[in-house]
Amino acid sequence: MSEDVHQQAERLIAVARVEGISSAEREWLEGHLESCARCDEHATALERAVGALRTVSIPLDPALVRATQFRVRLRAQELREEKSRMRGLWISCALSWVLGALSAPLLWWGFQWVGRHMVLPDLAWQTAFVLWWVMPAAAVAAVLAGLRERASSENRFLGSPRR
């Protein structure tokens, strides 16, 4: 057998322990383990190592436990606050869309009226109408992207994992 097949089997053995694998991959792996003693020994050794690690008891400093619990609670509170802020954002977006849809015909008429009285080409006042709707959304998108990038760079700076 080629080394690629063995490497694939070893990768699937590890992934199966951590993330899980599809049923097709599991069937292939089981078939390979039945026919390959080397990979079967690798899987057995990995199972024994994981089992041994689960029996190891590590004494922890109570101060470390309290600090970890505090940080977990703090992070949970931050996530609740973020969810609350996002709910407000979604409500305001929905309200904006409803009001925009209701006012669009009136605004179209206003732009058309200004365009006719200023003797502007139709394309000019129609472009202004489109920009009237696009620019605020583009500005909000740019601000949100900047906030997300700032939060991402702060997480990298602090060594926090990326969500």
pLDDT band at 4 (very low <50, low <70, confident <90, very high): confident
Q: How many CB atoms lie within 10 A of CB 111?
A: 19
pLDDT at 41: 93
Give Cα separations from 118 to 31, 110, 124, 142 (angstroms): 79, 12, 11, 33
Residue 161, classed as helix, strand or coil, is coil
**Is residue 160 over pLDDT 70?**
no
Q: How many CB atoms lie within 10 A of CB 14?
A: 13
Q: Which residue has the tokens 């926090």?
A: 160
In this prediction the pTM is 0.38
Q: Which two tokens stand for residue 58?
A: 């590590």
pLDDT band at 109 (very low <50, low <70, confident <90, very high): very high
The residue among 119, 120, 98, 100 whose CA lies nearest residue 108 is: 100
Burial of 39 (0-12, 13-18, 19+ CB in 10 A): buried
C-alpha 135/C-alpha 127 separation (Å) is 12
pLDDT at 2: 63
pLDDT in tens, 38-47: 999 999 999 8
